Amino acid sequence: MSAGSPRALGALVALLLVFAIGSIVALAVLVATLAEDDEQTSATSCIVTAVTTDDDQERAPNIPNGWAPLVEAAAQTAGLPVSVVAAQLQQESNWDPNAGSSAGAQGIAQFMPATWATYGNGGEVTDPDDAIPAYGRYMAALKKDVEPLADGDADQLVRLTLAAYNAGPGAVQQYKGVPPYEETQNYVRTILDVGQSEFSAHCQAPTGAQEWDGDLGDGEWTTPLPGGKFTSGYGGRALAGVPGWANQHEGVDIATPGAGNGRGGVVVAPTSLRITGFNATDGCVIAKENGEDPDFGFAFCHLHSWDVAKGQKLKRGDVIGTEGNRGRFGMATHLHFEIYTPDAPDLVFPYQGHNIDPEPILKQKGAWPK
């Protein structure tokens, strides 16, 4: 089209208007969502403890398809926390009643045919109404098998029962503990972690921050995603399929290579900071530097889960949470990291005029991803 054509100009103005209105609407929605999330407490981690009495049996959130009563009853039968049972079923089948494995495991709890013959009570392995209660009976039997090895430690008994499911009770007995197989160790850790982060109803704020045990480099700060690579910079961009406001991009993106859409790496505090709030919709932990002036503000976004509570103080390298892809539109796993000017309020959100480009600051502090 000719640039001077009045019709073309009119169309352009109309287009800009539509875009501007769209942006205002998007911004209004964003601000409303953020305000709402302000009050929301985080999915902080907590220690999964064994069930000792009926009263301790918690109700777990996030169980899909109305299966919560089935899962709670199975947890009761097994004598395991609901959060652990839910995380294990998710790990086994991702809640797919028709899941199968090449080894021959079937159904939501991935029963092998011989085990199903013992615990299935003649039911249908692909029917959750049959398979979830059978899973409870099977876990109860495994728990009984390994109980003498736990030496009265209820938490250890949960770990041993999970290990017995994964590696067999014989292996747990052989090693008198969680067997040293990498797969089994990961299995137990993953289920306890997911149980805490996704299915625990009443997590307490953690008492102390967990230190990351990897290499933090020798800069004054450390990179917020150790092992991550820089993928996208601060400022306007033109990604297809994302709203205008997201294309303003008031932060930098760092991603763990190969993380895809799953859980990524460990997100750590780049420097001493205190947690000031959360934006659950976009998976953001918001924080303020807690040290010498100037005290910058931070946002760590799209996290899969986080392990911190509001008001908690962290030192350089303490774990904030796990890289993920939580947000209101689809994206690959990455950390979106923002820095705010020192004059920003404690609980600060993007598009309030306080964002600054993190890249030169991270570079100056020796914390830019390699």
Strand-pairing partners, residue 356, are: 339
- Please report how close the Cβ of residue 337 comes to Zn ion at its closest, in angstroms: 8
Residue 278 Cβ vs Zn ion, minimum distance, rounded to whole Å: 17
Measured between alpha carbons, how far is residue 279 from residues 33, 53, 329 in Å?
A: 8, 35, 15
Q: Of 190 and 248, which has the nearer Cβ to Zn ion? A: 248
Distance CA 318, CA 221 (A): 12
Q: Output the smallest distance, CB 251 to Zn ion, in A.
A: 5
- How many Å separate Cα 251 from the centre of its chain? 20
Q: With contacts defined by CB under 5 A, name the span among 49-57, 65-73, 206-214, 245-253 that binds Zn ion.
A: 245-253
Q: How many residues bind Zn ion (CB under 5 A)?
A: 3
* Least gap, CB of 212 to Zn ion (angstroms): 22
Tell me how far apart the alpha carbons of residues 370 and 228 are, in angstroms, rounded to a whole number.
8
Show contacts with Zn ion in window 208-227 (CB under 5 A): none
* Residue 336 touching Zn ion (CB under 5 A): yes
Strand partners, 338: 299
Closest CB 116 distance from Zn ion, rounded Å: 46
- In the bound state, the residue with its beta carbon closest to Zn ion is 336
Rounded Cα distance, 291 and 294, in Å: 8
The one catalytic residue among 36, 39, 92, 211: 92
Identify the three-state secondary structure at position 203.
coil
CA atoms within 13 A on the CB side of 5: 7
* Residue 164 φ/ψ region, left for φ over 0, alpha for ψ in the -120 to 50 degree band, beta for the rest: alpha
Nearer to Zn ion, 253 or 295 (CB): 253
- Residue 161's nearest CA partner among 151, 152, 169 is 169
Q: Candidates 17-25, 67-75, 83-91, 252-260 — which segment interacts with Zn ion by CB under 5 A?
A: 252-260
- Label residue 44 exposed, middle or buried (CB < 10 Å: 0-12, 13-18, 19+): buried
Question: Which residue shows structure tokens 């640039």?
Answer: 3
Active site residue 250: no
CB-wise, 3 or 238, nearer to Zn ion?
A: 238
Query: Which residue, 195 or 251, is less far from Zn ion as judged by CB?
Result: 251
Of 30 and 140, nearer to Zn ion (C-beta) is 30
Q: How far is the CB of 334 from Zn ion (least distance, A)?
A: 7
Residue 171: both structure tokens together: 């292996």
Task: Map residues 192-211 to x or -, x wherever contact with Zn ion holds by CB under 5 A.
Answer: --------------------
Q: Which amino acid would we find at residue 335?
A: L
Decide if residue 253 touches Zn ion (CB under 5 A).
yes
Span of 53-61, 165-173, 207-215, 333-341 interacting with Zn ion by CB under 5 A: 333-341
**Burial (0-12, 13-18, 19+ Cβ within 10 Å), 131:** buried
Q: Which is nearer to Zn ion, 48 or 255 (CB)?
A: 255
Under the binding rule (CB under 5 A), the answer on residue 92 touching Zn ion is: no
Q: Is 107 helix (H, G, I), strand (E, B) or coil?
A: coil
Site string for Zn ion, 2-31 (x = CB under 5 A): ------------------------------
Where does this chain bind Zn ion (CB under 5 A)?
251, 253, 336
Active site residues: 92
